[in-house]
A and B are shown apart, each in its own frame.
Chain A
Amino acid sequence: MTTTPSAPPVTTTIPVFTEATLDGKVPVGPIEHVWDRTRFAMKLVNPSNRRKFKIIIVGSGLAGGAAAATLGEAGYNVECYCYQDSPRRAHSVAAQGGINAAKNYRNDGDSVYRLFYDTVKGGDYRAREGNVYRLAEVSNAIIDQCVAQGVPFAREYGGLLDNRSFGGAQVQRTFYARGQTGQQLLLGAYQSLARQIAAKTVTMYTRHDMLDLIVVNGRARGIVTRDMRTGKVEAHLADVVVLGTGGYSNVFYLSTNAKGCNTTAIWRSYKRGAYFANPCYTQIHPTCIPAAGEHQSKLTLMSESLRNDGRIWVPRKQGENRPVEQIPEEDRYYYLEEMYPSYGNLAPRDISSRAAKRQVDAGLGVGPMKNGVYLDFADSIKRLGEKVIRERYGNLFDMYENITGENAYKIPMRIYPAPHYTMGGLWVDYYLESTIPGLFVIGEANFSDHGANRLGASALMQGLADGYFVLPATLPNYLASTKLDKVTLEHAAVKQALDNVESITSRLLNNKGTKTVEEYHRALGKIMWDYCGMGRTAAGLETALKLIPELKAEFWANVRVLGSADDVNQELEKVGRVADYFELGELMCLDALQRNESCGGHFREEYQTEDGEAKRNDDEFAYVGAWQYTGDDNVPLLHKEPLVFETAKLSQRSYK
């Protein structure tokens, strides 16, 4: 088929809705052989042909950066885009604790199968088995790769790699580099990327915001970006587009994400026809510093690794006024240790977060705003000495002191859950391809591997698995088996995408409103936190679905953005992102409302066991809920991908 300027407008390229269920395309066969066989079955691109293919990768974090470096090295013609001023600053940099792998270096019973099983169970049986098994399978190669790149992982005195424990596992399989594992892994990927930039296989575009996806004849063929220094809006074409643009926790306004993290790339791709899967699966991380007041612009995570040595407690009775050091042992309620004796302080994130919320809701909260629980290192300091604790977590204790002004070696830290990671994202099949052919989605931006709850130290694993190993194997198969039309910048779909960006910008800029972008974002975040946060109810979600459209209408009519479009304009960058959060927020509530069960991070208060744990409904809800956009004024359509558990049998999750 040839493309002409009279080609159909982009909106008609949305796949036609059918009643048929969505197919994840996991190849059949024994799970331990599926990936190997698939790798053999997929088509390859001859090395001399690779440079003829242009690949656009948006995002330069662990997933995007690793993919750009790997595909560039393989010989493809890669363009990589990020909104930061350097690819080294992608938010993967902030991951503290570690990265999981099934090396079994500790000889404590770990295996690929156990990592797979723990991850499926940790995700409360809402992830796709085939993907998770593959993730566990490639985990070991990631560690090898990173060591070879010079990632300075923690070592034992004998020179071998050290491990620590993380939540939701009874083996020590987490590799780490002090409290800066994400930074070091990202620098490994960034340095590999830098090598390819120098070799001219990758062209890097920093300070570029992706604002739309270009879809031509049903295939993803490019993106529209705004140069954040000059305001120049441009279309870039390619043979295939990869999104590694991270998660959407900032919909809550206060989260542990970087301020710039946003949903725009995946949201605008959703509006071009990519299905959005499980938007309501969000992770509220149990160990963050509680908010201190109205000025708060973000929340700061304290690594989960702290739970290795810290004990979590609240006073047993309400209105406890004694200074913390005077509260005797019998008046301290170590609730995780009491409720979950076998996992104790290392219970999974969703469970620990809800337990903290219950204590604070019951009036047992600590700190000036009574909005936290204690994470106490006194016992560990007594047992191991302050020096050891300083060695393990020094930078975290320093950060805590910077922010709160308190010395956690002397008095317990105060922590409280905060939005941190989003398991939901664009739907992808086993090959990481979205419902728009030629649009691949990797890392946190996709939905695939963590089900309804992600285990600690698994985000880094998944980002790098996708970027180094999975995508570089599946993407050539697409290129080799697809006949791609020639597309030029004159194509109607290109113009349409550019016009779309232009119209959003001019509408928002010419508004002579009275309230700032921040004010609207805060207000939206509060609605999301109150009704679609740690505890959700049908009534609350319905309230949110009334409040959000009202606020959204006011936002579009009354938001104030100063300055021009042809210049550095940070308010303009923000306002477009917040506009997308409004729409995403609605979809999250819709998704949470249709899922009449509790699973992992999605806790519907109507569905809980007698002791307050999430109560799944496998008969009706063992599916991935993937939403299709049908227009701004229409309700999106829900497609269901059934989840089948043949290897890890469905069971009630228990950490007692």
Chain B
Amino acid sequence: MQLKLRIWRQKNTQTSGKLVDYDLDGVSEDSSFLEMMDMLNEQLIHKGEEPVVYDHDCREGICGMCGLVINGIAHGPKAATTTCQLHMRVFKDGDTITVEPWRAKAFPVLKDLMVDRQAFDRIIEAGGFISVPTGAAPDGNATPVSKAKAERSMDAAACIGCGACVAACPNSSAMLFTAAKLGHLNALPQGQPERYDRAVMMVEQMDKEGFGGCTNIGECEAVCPKEISLDFIAAMNRDLLRGKLTGKGKR
């Protein structure tokens, strides 16, 4: 395949960036999107130009490290797919492909297509856990968990923390990410003691990081590579309301 690439190049957080055009020929349709980017980088190095910086790691769609906005869509045109799992057979010979970084105030660009997502870690640190010291656990079968609850919890826990939800949201909201962690832990009996504290503390941190609010647009759900449902946001809002009304989240 022959492609026209328009790629965001930006030296660092302080400077502004711009789209730069590249032509790339001989791309195999069996290669992944990132392998296509590798190919471009190899050619750039041979020409003496600095390669394009982008984050990636497992290339199996599970670590959540990669994430590019491809033709305006976070993780590209294929539903339920991370950038690394997107393969070139979804494009056509002669296509023009625009590649940009996640764009959100809370995710500053570090270089080219690489952004800083530490805000997500701080949301988890605010309460996205169950407080259990190592070694203090009862037998794994001591508390039965219905299959339905375990499955619902797992649906939310599948979140890989890539940030596509934020990149896709016109408000740059991190509601789906936060709601997924709450949906995971609050669905389980083990998560109940801290349930409302967790909701209040995580949402407060989310606001502090500069993410926007949710206006039920649903772009996040549409781009989520793990198909995490908007329903979790509704559930989060219920827990948040109850937590606020009962004065939770003050530790």
Contacts and interface: CB of A to CB of B under 8 A. Distances in A.
Interface of A: 66, 69-70, 73, 84-89, 91, 93-94, 103, 105, 141, 143-150, 152-161, 175, 177-178, 180, 182-184, 187, 190-192, 194-195, 197-198, 204, 206, 229, 256, 258-260, 292-298, 300-301, 398-399, 402-403, 405, 468-469, 472, 516, 518-519, 560, 562-563, 567-568, 570-571
B4 interface: no
A560 B46 CA distance: 8
A518 B138 contact: no
Nearest to A87: B121
Contact of A149 (B36, B116, B130): B130
B154 interface: yes
Quick one: which of B50, B124, B185 has the most chain A CB within 10 A?
A: B124
B64 A89 contact: yes
Quick one: which of A105, A256, A297, A519 has the most chain B CB within 10 A?
A: A297
Contacts, number: 223
Interface stretch (B26-34, B91-99, B213-221, B235-243): B26-34
A288 to B, nearest CB: 11
A207 to B, nearest CB: 9
A518 B85 CA distance: 21
A78 B28 CA distance: 47
Given A88-B64, A94-B62, A144-B139, A73 B56 contact: no
A160 B141 contact: yes
A204 B120 CA distance: 14
Interface string B140-179: 1101111100100110011011000000000000000000
Nearest to B54: A570
Contacts of B160: 183
Given A85-B118, A149-B132, A296-B35, A94 B60 contact: yes
Interface string B118-135: 101100111011111111
Contacts of B78: 402
Given A402-B81, A560-B45, A562-B51, A105 B141 contact: yes
24 contacts: A73-B134, A85-B116, A89-B63, A89-B64, A145-B135, A147-B137, A147-B190, A150-B191, A152-B157, A153-B150, A157-B146, A159-B147, A183-B160, A191-B128, A191-B129, A206-B118, A259-B57, A259-B58, A293-B28, A295-B35, A297-B59, A298-B59, A516-B42, A562-B49
B63 to A, nearest CB: 4
Q: Which 8 A-B pairs have the closest CB atoms?
A: A159-B144, A148-B137, A191-B129, A144-B137, A295-B31, A152-B154, A152-B153, A198-B125
A300 B118 contact: no
Given A161-B140, A259-B57, A403 B62 contact: no
B203 interface: no
Given A157-B147, A293-B31, A190 B157 contact: no
A300 B60 contact: yes
Contacts of A294: 28
Contacts of B117: 85-86
Contact of B60 (A141, A195, A399): A399
Contacts of A301: 60
B63 A178 contact: no
B89 A405 contact: yes
A184 B59 CA distance: 18
Contact of A180 (B129, B130, B158): B158
A84 B63 contact: yes
A270 B89 CA distance: 44
Given A258-B57, A260-B57, A568 B111 contact: yes
Given A150-B190, A160-B144, A187-B157, A69 B61 contact: no
Contacts of A159: 144-147
A297 B134 contact: no
Contacts of A195: 125, 129, 131
A468 B134 contact: yes
A178 B124 contact: no
B64 A518 contact: no
Contact of A297 (B34, B124, B146, B191): B34
Contacts of A70: 134
A560 B45 CA distance: 8
B199 to A, nearest CB: 15
B231 interface: no
Nearest to A89: B63
Nearest to A229: B110
A56 B42 CA distance: 36
Contacts of A399: 60-61, 85
A295 B184 contact: no
Nearest to B132: A148
Contact of B188 (A152, A190, A292, A516): A152
